[in-house]
Amino acid sequence: MALIGKDIDLVASLLKDGKVVAIPTETVYGLAANAFNEKAVLKIFEVKNRPTTNPLIVHIGNKMQLTDLVKSIPENAHLLMENFWPGPLTLLLPKKAIVSDLVTASHNTVAIRMPSHPLLQELLKKISFPLTAPSANPFTYISPTTVDHVSKQIGTKIPYILDGGDCQKGVESTIVGFNKNGDAIIYRLGAITTEALEVILQSKLKTFKNNKSTPAPGMMKIHYAPSTPLYLVDNLKKNWNQFKEKNIALIVFDKEIKGVNSKNQFILSKNSSLDEATENLYKSLHYFDNKGFDAILIQKFENKGLGKTLNDRLSRAQVKF
């Protein structure tokens, strides 16, 4: 079983030895390995039970590391880095040969982000290599935002979980790529809103659409899903009655629904804050999952800002009906 603690010297030495450890980030917990050690990277896929066709994100501590990793940086990428790094923004940039095809699943771009979590920044300063880290959940399950989530999901498979407290953003980073002209395209909605990116780039952003039969990385239909069937409904107050005969759990935004036992309800933000609701969404899904409920119900968020990100995750996790 994994040790849990804040010993970054120990974590640094484990990583240098090619071990895989769980690390905190501001978005969700990650499962980290030395990005330049292929054997270590392969272990990540094994622990997660993730197909190697799904590429990983490389985490850096400072911009100087970019020169080793990427061939060129479009002007718009510079702009975004200046405004959102360190922070929950991942950029897809043309990779240099040093970046293993295992990390990028043979794509010619590598996903890179500079996290803002202070403990992770300290760790990145202690090691000379970047860390490749997917979210620390088994493939297709909900991402972990607390040490407890990580410990329950994969604690038996790794030696150490670096305890950085609960993740403050609570949802994964936004992923942005660039076309031939250097225009930004959104590959995954996330903790940085589309609107915030558009203010900086001063243009409307498109979302990447994949025409191939195999789903694009991060765009898989069933993803981030709890084991209990999840229903994303238009109006919880009206719709919960349709599930009356079942033992249901409700995830509510700021107020409980009358007529349903309080024990079956999780309030995302008593202060009606979308930031706080985002921070708590995965927690609420972890909380209700595997507790014997027939269904978990949640209402769609207003489709803008972080609400759009949450709707994206929930629509992938929900039962299609």
The listed partner (ligand TXA, Mg ion, none) that binds 30, CB under 5 to 8 Å by sort, is ligand TXA
* Residues touching ligand TXA, count (CB under 6 A): 25
Who contacts 179 (Cβ-Cβ below 8 Å, separation ≥6)?
A: 185
The listed partner (ligand TXA, Mg ion, none) that binds 27, CB under 5 to 8 Å by sort, is ligand TXA
Under the binding rule (CB under 6 A), the answer on residue 173 touching ligand TXA is yes
Under the binding rule (CB under 5 A), the answer on residue 25 touching Mg ion is no
Under the binding rule (CB under 6 A), the answer on residue 145 touching ligand TXA is no
Find how far residue 80's CA is from the centre of its chain. Answer: 19
The listed partner (ligand TXA, Mg ion, none) that binds 111, CB under 5 to 8 Å by sort, is ligand TXA
Who contacts 187 (Cβ-Cβ below 8 Å, separation ≥6)?
A: 92, 175, 176, 177, 207, 208, 216, 218, 219
The listed partner (Mg ion, ligand TXA, none) that binds 130, CB under 5 to 8 Å by sort, is none
Q: Are strands 184-188 and 174-178 parallel, antiparallel or unpaired?
A: antiparallel
Q: Contact with ligand TXA (CB under 6 A): which of 22, 73, 81, 111?
A: 111
Who contacts 154 (Cβ-Cβ below 8 Å, separation ≥6)?
A: 2, 22, 31, 47, 48, 136, 137, 138
Sheet order of strands, 57-59 included: 3-5, 160-162, 21-23, 30-34, 131-132, 57-59, 109-113, 89-94, 174-178, 184-188, 206-207
Instruction: Give whichever of 24 and 248 is closer to ligand TXA, judged by the CB atom.
Output: 24
- Read off the tokens for 314: 């929930």
How is residue 244 annotated by DSSP? T
Under the binding rule (CB under 6 A), the answer on residue 96 touching ligand TXA is no
Q: Contact with Mg ion (CB under 5 A): which of 100, 135, 194, 299?
A: 135
CB 182 within 8 A of CB 74: yes
Q: Contact with ligand TXA (CB under 6 A): which of 47, 175, 250, 310?
A: 175
For residue 79, the minimal CB distance to Mg ion (Å) is 26
How is residue 70 annotated by DSSP? B
Whole-angstrom distance, CA of residue 177 vs CA of residue 185: 5
Under the binding rule (CB under 5 A), the answer on residue 90 touching Mg ion is no
Under the binding rule (CB under 6 A), the answer on residue 132 touching ligand TXA is no
CB 16 within 8 A of CB 143: no
For residue 211, the minimal CB distance to ligand TXA (Å) is 15
Instruction: Give whichever of 86 and 240 is closer to ligand TXA, judged by the CB atom.
Output: 86
Q: Is 288 helix (H, G, I), strand (E, B) or coil?
A: helix
For residue 259, the minimal CB distance to Mg ion (Å) is 36
For residue 163, the minimal CB distance to ligand TXA (Å) is 15
Instruction: Give whichever of 34 and 104 is closer to ligand TXA, judged by the CB atom.
Output: 104
Whole-angstrom distance, CA of residue 236 vs CA of residue 252: 8
- Read off the tokens for 89: 């923004």
Instruction: Give whichever of 135 and 146 is closer to Mg ion, judged by the CB atom.
Output: 135
Under the binding rule (CB under 6 A), the answer on residue 193 touching ligand TXA is no
Under the binding rule (CB under 6 A), the answer on residue 107 touching ligand TXA is yes
* Contact residues: Mg ion, CB under 5 A: 135
* Contact residues: ligand TXA, CB under 6 A: 25, 27-28, 30, 54-57, 88, 90, 92, 104, 107, 109-111, 133-135, 172-173, 175, 187, 217-218
